[in-house]
Amino acid sequence: MANVAVIGAQWGDEGKGKIVDWLSQRADVVVRFQGGHNAGHTLVIDGVEFRLSLLPSGIVRPGKLSIIGSGVVVDPWALIREIDAIKVKGVTVTPDNLKLAENATLILPLHGEIDRAREEARGADKIGTTGRGIGPAYEDKVGRRAIRVCDLADPASLGGKIDNLLLHHNALLRGLGAKELERGPILAALLEIAPKVLPFADSAWRLLDDAKKAGKRVLFEGAQGAMLDVDHGTYPFVTSSHTHPGQAASGAGIGPGNVGYVLGITKAYTTRVGSGPFPTELKDDIGETLGQKGKEFGVVTGRKRRCGWFDAVMVRQASKVSGIDGIALTKLDVLDGFKEIKVCIGYKLDGKTLDRLPPLAEAQEKVEPIYETIEGWSDSTRGARSWSQLPALAVKYVRRVEELIETPVAILSTSPEREDTVLVRDPFA
C-alpha cells in the first residue's frame, strides 16, 4: 500500500487544496487529520471554484471516500453549511462518501465567543487567530472536558457534560468581564444539530484498517503549515494543533508506519496571514505585486496575506523536522515577469550568521534575511504541464530552490487549474 501525507511547508496557504485534489485521483481514501474550519482550501475544476474548510478535498471526486479524523476539531454547524454549499455546485455529500470520526471534538459557539474575547483582551498583542474557536476547542480536548461527536448520540448524559464544560469557561468569562453562558441554549442547539451530523459518524480507525487490509491508497490531508505547528512553528504565533506528518497517524487513527511518502507544499515565494515573525516580508511595491498576482487573500477569513521572497532557510528547516520526501512547488507563475528574484539563504542576528530560524519569538522578529539574487524570466509559465514548456530560467530557479532546501521537487503547479501541473515524481509510485 502506497500512502501519501500532504503538509504545508510554510505558514499555510501554500496551495494544498489543488495538490490534494490532483493527487486524489490516485487515492481511494482522503483523510483530514488536524485543524478545524479555520483552514481553507480552494479548488478550481473546469472553471468552477470550490472553497472547502472542513471537507477533505477528495470530496469533489466521485468514488472516493472522505474521512474527517479525530485529530480535527469540528464545528457541526459549519460542516452542515459547507455540505449544503457544495451541493449547490453539483457535489452531493452523503454518509456513503463522507465519514466523521465519532471521537472527534466538537467546536461549540461558546468557543468562538471565548476565542474572540481573549483576542480582544490582548489588545496590540493579538496572536491573530481566526476567532472561530479552534484553540479553545483543542484546550477543552486536552483538558478532558470536550463534547465529542459520540456524545450527541447520548442525550441523557449530554447536559452533565455541558455543566462540566461551563464550570471552566464561565470562570474564564467572569475574569474577562464577559457574560456567562447557560446550559439550556447550548443543549438545545446540540440536540437540534445532532440528527444532521450523526449519520456521518463512524469509526475512522476501523475504516482505515479495512482500507489497509484491502490494499487501498490513502491520502492524508493536512491543514495550515509546518511553521504553524504548536511545537515546531513560530510560537506563540501558531495554530493549536500539530501540523506535521506524525499527526497524520494519530489524527486519523492509523500506525505511523502506514503514513508513507511525505509531500510538502510550498509556494515559489512566501506568504503569511495574521501576526507573527516574517523575515522575508516585503512592505513595498514588490510585496504588493506578489499579493495582487497571487490573489493573496485568505479563503476562510478574506484577510490580506503578507507577502515576501522565498525563504529557503525556513522551508529547509520545515523539511528536516517534518521528514519531507518531496516538494510540490506552487504558484511559480506568480514570479513571471520579475527581472530579479531573491531567495533567502541565511539570517543575520546580532552580528552572527544563522542557518536556522531561532526558537525565541523576539529573535525571530529581529533576524535579517541574507539574499541570493537569481535572474528572472519574461516568458510565461502559466499553464505549463511539462518541463519543456517552462522557460529555461524558471527551470534554473526551481533547481536552485531544490539545492537550497535540500529536498527534490516532485510536483510543480503552474496555475490554480487542476491539470496545470508538472509531475516529476508520483508520490504514490
Torsion 288-292-295-298 (CA) sign: positive
Can you list the positions of beta strands (E) in 24-132?
29-32, 41-45, 48-52, 65-68, 73-74, 98-101, 105-106
Contact criterion met (CB below 8 Å) for 303 and 44: no
41 is known as an active-site residue: yes
Integer CA distances (angstroms), 280 to 334, 353, 401, in order: 17, 16, 15
Candidate list 13, 21, 115, 151, residue with the active-site label: 13
Candidate list 21, 37, 41, 311, residue with the active-site label: 41
140 is known as an active-site residue: no
Place of cell 500532504: 6
Q: Does an H or E element contain 71, and which?
A: none
Give the active site residues.
13, 41
